[in-house]
Amino acid sequence: MIIFWLALFVILLIIEIITVGLTTIWFAGGSMAALIVAAVGGPVWLQVILFLVVSFVLLFFTRPWAVKYLNPHKTRTNYEDAIGKTVRVTMKIDNIEETGTAVLNGQEWTARSNDDAVTIEADTTAEVVAISGVKLIVKPQ
């Protein structure tokens, strides 16, 4: 069983290195605990139970912390709050011509209409309905 737990530990670490997404590290910890029990001659049933318990304890108690502090993929820009706000159109918004800009909170953004058939003239106002990348998606008011 020592070879089994060691092989499982190595495989799980390789998967973790390849994915870089904190996916199998918890189970690698469980396999390490089972490996230690196997090395000191513990019974197979104890190894399996220890593997499951340690894996799920690590997963349950450390994953939220690890995801929050070690793997922050999402950078909040506070522009999610822009949806529903009124903007001033500074350049005619025409999706067909791929033109249009609007000012939101003092910053000029590229803007597109939420309906390709609708153009929005400059010096009017519009409402932000979504944000797509670095573009405001707006509808006329």
Do residue 117 and residue 65 come from a single domain? no
Confirm whether 74 is domain-assigned. Answer: no
Confirm whether 136 is domain-assigned. Answer: yes
Do residue 85 and residue 64 come from a single domain? no
CATH number at residue 127: 2.40.50.140
Domain residues for 15? 2-69
* Sequence-ordered list of residues with C-beta below 8 angstroms from that of 118, at least 6 positions apart, any chain: 139, 140
Q: Does the pLDDT of residue 114 top 80, yes or no? A: yes
Do residue 63 and residue 108 come from a single domain? no
Domain end: 20, 50, 69, which one?
69
Structural domain count of the chain: 2
Q: For residue range 71-93, what is the model confidence (pLDDT) as tens digits?
A: 555 566 666 788 899 999 999 99
**Two structure tokens written together for 72:** 């922050």
- The dihedral of CA 89, 95, 96, 101: what is its sign? positive
Q: For residue range 26-65, what is the model confidence (pLDDT) as tens digits?
A: 899 999 999 999 999 999 999 999 999 999 998 888 877 7
Question: What is the maximum span of the chain, computed from C-alpha positions, in angstroms?
Answer: 80
Other beta carbons less than 10 A from residue 1's beta carbon: 16
**Two structure tokens written together for 52:** 């499951």
